[in-house]
Amino acid sequence: MPNLAKLCVALAFFSSGASFAQGEKPPSPPAPEALKRPSRVRAVSAGATLSVLGLSLVPKDTVNTSTTTPAVSTQYDTKGASQRIGGGVTGQVALPGRFAVSASLLWRKIGYQMETNVATGATTTTFTARHEDTRAKIIDVPVAVRYFSKGHHESGQRWFVEGGGVFRKMSGLRTSVNTTDNNGVNTCCDTTPVTPAHRSVRGFLGGLGLYLIDPVGVRVIPEVRYTRWATPLFDNFSTHTQRNQVEGMLSITF
C-alpha cells in the first residue's frame, strides 16, 4: 500500500509538470540585428522650386533733365511690368561633414514701361511724348554651398546657412515704341529692341533655410535669400534693374 501511494504521488508530479510545460510559451526568437538608419540628408536629391521676389525687378522711378541751349526739358517715368513669381528645378549633392552643394534653374519674366515727355523751346514750346514697352525673359542659375546644423545621418529637422554665386541670362527681348507729336499725331510702332546695359550679369548670394522631412521621406525646404548683382541688365535714365534682390523660396525634393 505504501508503494501504491508513492506511485500516485509520482504520477501526479509528472502530470502537473507536463501541464505546466504545455501552458508555457515557447521562447521568442532572437531579435534581428537593427538595421542602419538611412541618411537623413540624401546623397543626391532633386525636385521643383518656387521663388517669390520681395522687390520689383525694375523699380518705379522718375528722372528730369534740362538744357538751356537749346531749351529742352525732358521727363522720364518708368514703372515695372515684371513677374515677381518664378519657378524651376533644383537639386542638391551632399558633401562630407555637414556640407552640401545646391543648384537651381529658375525662369521669370521681366519688363517695364517708360514714358518720355520732351518740351522744346523757350518762348514757343512744343511737346513730344514717347511710350516704350519692353519685355524679356530671364534665367537664373544660382549655385550655393550649404552648412547644416546637424550631420547628414542624424535624424530630425535641421536648419542651414548658404552662400554662393548666381548667373542671370536675358533672352527674348521685345520692344514696342509709339510717339505722339505736338499736334497729337501718333506714330506707331517702332519694334526695334532696346539695347540693354548687359544681357547677362553675375551676383553673389547668401541665405538661411530649413530642411524639413515628412514621414514618407519628402524634403520640404523653405528659405530666404539675398542676392547682390554686380551690374544691372537695364540702366537708362529712369530705367534700371534692381541690384539688391530679396526672395523667398520653397523647394520640394525627393
Q: What ranges do the domains of the chain cover?
A: 37-253
Element (H, E) at 240: strand 239-240
What whole-number distance in Å separates Cα of residue 40 and Cα of residue 160? 14
* pLDDT tens digits in sequence order for the chain, 254 residues long: 455 455 444 444 444 444 444 445 555 555 443 344 455 899 999 999 999 999 999 999 999 999 998 999 999 999 999 999 999 999 999 999 999 999 999 999 999 999 999 999 888 889 999 999 999 999 999 999 999 999 999 988 999 999 999 999 999 999 999 999 999 999 999 999 999 999 999 999 999 999 999 888 899 999 999 999 999 999 999 999 999 999 999 999 99
Element (H, E) at 20: helix 2-23
CATH code for residues 37-253 = 2.40.160
What whole-number distance in Å separates Cα of residue 53 and Cα of residue 253? 21
What whole-number distance in Å separates Cα of residue 138 and Cα of residue 51? 13
Check: CB of residue 118 under 8 Å from CB of residue 148: no
Q: What are phi and psi of 144, to 5 degrees?
A: -140, 150
Which residue bears the cell 535714365? 237
> In the numeric block, which cell numbers belong to residue 238?
529712369
